[in-house]
Amino acid sequence: MLENILKEKNLPPFKSSEEMLDILLKEEYGYMPPKPEGITYKSIENYIPNFCAGKAISRKVEITSQFSKKEFTFPIYVTIPKKEGKHPFFICINFRDSVPDRYIPVEEIVDNGFAVLSFCYKDVTDDNNDFTNGLAGELYENGKRGASDPGKIAMWAWAAQRVMDYAETLDCLDFECSIVCGHSRLGKTALLTAATDERFKYAYSNNSGCSGAAISRGKQGERIEDICKNFPYWFCENYKKYVNNEYNMPFDQHYLVASIAPRYVYIASADEDKWADPDSEMLTCYAVSGIYEKYRKKGFVCEDRLPQVNDMFHDGCVGYHLRAGLHYFSREDWLKIIKFVKKHSCI
């Protein structure tokens, strides 16, 4: 059944990871901002005293990147279990700077043995068409962009990679179990982060939908026309060419997930989130399965049908679940990605 659905979509064939990623950067997200020439960290220890009942350290860190004789600084929030040993960890791109947050149940994450490093995406650059503030202001003269210059998603992904730079200074983290995650537009960002940085062993996209985890051809709910009308600044200018033109794109979102292979990818949907379109999100998982098999790994192991509420497919390197409810990054979502990571990393 799923194979027949994909055939009807006539997806572009896979290319090498480098070729697929280059197409995506040129035509959709824009090329990534340059890596910093230098980077420094300023830490505030014991940021939240007695955090998690004393089970974890809490730290605020300001990351300063130097490039082109300019500097850019943004804050991150670090929570690490006090228990000895190396800890698996999440880098979470978040909508707020709150710790804990309604999208990040930090104490429960710590109780499962994971550290979490988070930052607020607006501390990097505003979520609007202003390209003169934050990182955007350091990259562009007068806020003007070329056709394949980075949009805001690429800038937020760049910031997540700078958080990984900081993580690499810590000897208490398990870099074989590093997960970048985000919800909605930040789920799109998490996938791009991992696709452009092999240091992330897992990418977790929660309800990312259009221009994220969902196949664009034949998608229900939000389409490229909608997203380019409402949020054109998330992408490069070239992306506008594909408004009502999905079937002529030289790519689709399966290229984004395939660029992460053979590392792990996890995609989550919500049953009532029709705007994101759970069917199209799961179809991406199915579409990339063959790429993993070329690496002699299990790809996406599922039943041959479209998703149903409470589905949880964890047996392959590509995981997926569909929960009941609306567009939200819930405790249930966190517990399921933790379960997936523990299954595959033998934690």
* Cα–Cα distance measured from residue 125 to residue 135, given in angstroms and rounded to the nearest whole number: 6
Identify any residues that bridge with 265 across adjacent strands, giving them in sequence order.
203, 318
For residue 323, report the phi and psi dihedrals to the nearest 5 degrees: -105, 165
Q: Which amino acid is at 126?
A: D
- Please identify every residue annotated as catalytic: 184, 327
CA angle 302, 303, 308 (to 5 degrees): 95
Instruction: Outline where 131-266 has alpha helix (H).
Output: 134-139, 152-167, 185-195, 224-230, 253-258
Considering only CA atoms, which of 186, 117, 200 is closest in space to residue 153?
A: 186
Q: What are 103-106's contacts with CB under 8 Å, separation 24+?
A: 103/183, 103/328, 103/329, 104/329, 104/334, 105/331, 105/334, 106/52, 106/56, 106/79
CA dihedral 135, 137, 138, 143 (to 10 degrees): 120
